[in-house]
Structure 1
Amino acid sequence: MPATQPRTSGELRPGRWPGERLGLPAAGSGSVGRVGRRLAALAIDWVAAIVIALLFAPYSSTLHTWLTLGIFALMQVLFIPTIGGSVGHRLVGLRVVPVAGGWVGPWRPVVRTVLLVIVLPAVVWDSDQRGFHDKLAGTVLIRA
């Protein structure tokens, strides 16, 4: 068996750049969104959720904490299928797309968001820089 071929499907070798195995370009539009943009988008979305939650509960309250998390999740679930990503994603030039192509649909954002708010799946990445939440949802975060 040639050295470049995996022996089983679980032994896929890393690509030369993140997203190569998914058929994505190395840079520019359509390439995998890098860490800096991802973190900036997350910060924008989280700050927006905090500010909106402040309209309903004082900052130091337990209610505010849960409202912030709920608002953050709701923004993800509503905006990913409608505008192609969260407000933060769109402001930093990213969008969420299904790996298989087409429309992301309603279920992928729900799966992705549930795993995202758990946090751990979002910080476990593969060589394509896809978090576990994106892998299970069948999505990838790309540059717009």
Structure 2
Amino acid sequence: MARITGTWLSGPQAALPKSTDGREQSYRGEFLGFPQEGPGSLVGSGRRIAALLVDWVMAVGVASLITGDFFDGMTSTVTLMVWFAVGVVTVALFNFTPGQFVLGLQVARIEGPIRVGFVRALGRQALLVFVIPATITDIDGRGMQDRATGTLLVKSR
């Protein structure tokens, strides 16, 4: 019984991942095998949000061209559809969205340097539509959409 309550009473620190030798992670992505700095290192929240804003502004512009009016009621729906389609297609083909490209980011698979693929890109984008999965992150800064699809966002340059 002491063992069960001991981990329960230890607080949230007890749930953090530890290496096989018992030490704690010193930087994001360490136990996943990614570098601490430079290309291939995990991205922080600020750059993720900035890339999302670039993608969203681009989608608003395209949706405004499609609907013919910037403040039309259909513009928000078309914006979401454009953002979704661009996200799925570009991540499946190139491993990054236009906003991620501008900020030097790319979506990578945990297994190695393999293309993300259509199914993972579709699942990742479908979860991003709900916003909440992206706000819940783990110790590596990966959102629920990345954990569910086995992907993560890394620096490309």
TM-score by length of 2: 0.82
Q: Deviations over 1:116-144 (max 9, x none)?
A: 01100011000000000011011010000
How far apart are residue 11 of structure 1 and its match? 5.9
Does 2:54 align with 1:44? yes
Q: Map 1:1-144 to 2 at 5 A.
A: 12-13=17-18, 15-57=25-67, 58-101=69-112, 102-144=114-156
Higher relative contact order (CA 8 A, sep 6+): 1
C-alpha separation in 2, matches of 1:29 and 1:98: 15
> Comparing 32-41 with 65-74, which one deviates more in the overlay?
32-41
Q: Which runs of 5 or more residues in structure 2 are unaligned?
A: 1-14, 19-23
C-alpha separation in 1, matches of 2:64 and 2:144: 31
Between Structure 1 and Structure 2, whose CA radius of gyration is higher?
Answer: 2
Q: Which runs of 5 or more residues in structure 1 are unaligned?
A: 1-9
- Cα RMSD of the aligned pairs, angstroms, is 1.3
Kindly tell me the number of residue pairs found equivalent between the two proteins.
Answer: 135
- For the residue of structure 2 that corresponds to 1:25, the secondary structure is coil
Q: Is the 8 A contact 2:16 2:139 kept in 1?
A: no
Over the matched positions of the two proteins, sequence identity in percent amounts to: 34
Q: Is the 8 A contact 1:15 1:128 kept in 2?
A: no
How far apart are residue 40 of structure 1 and its match? 1.1
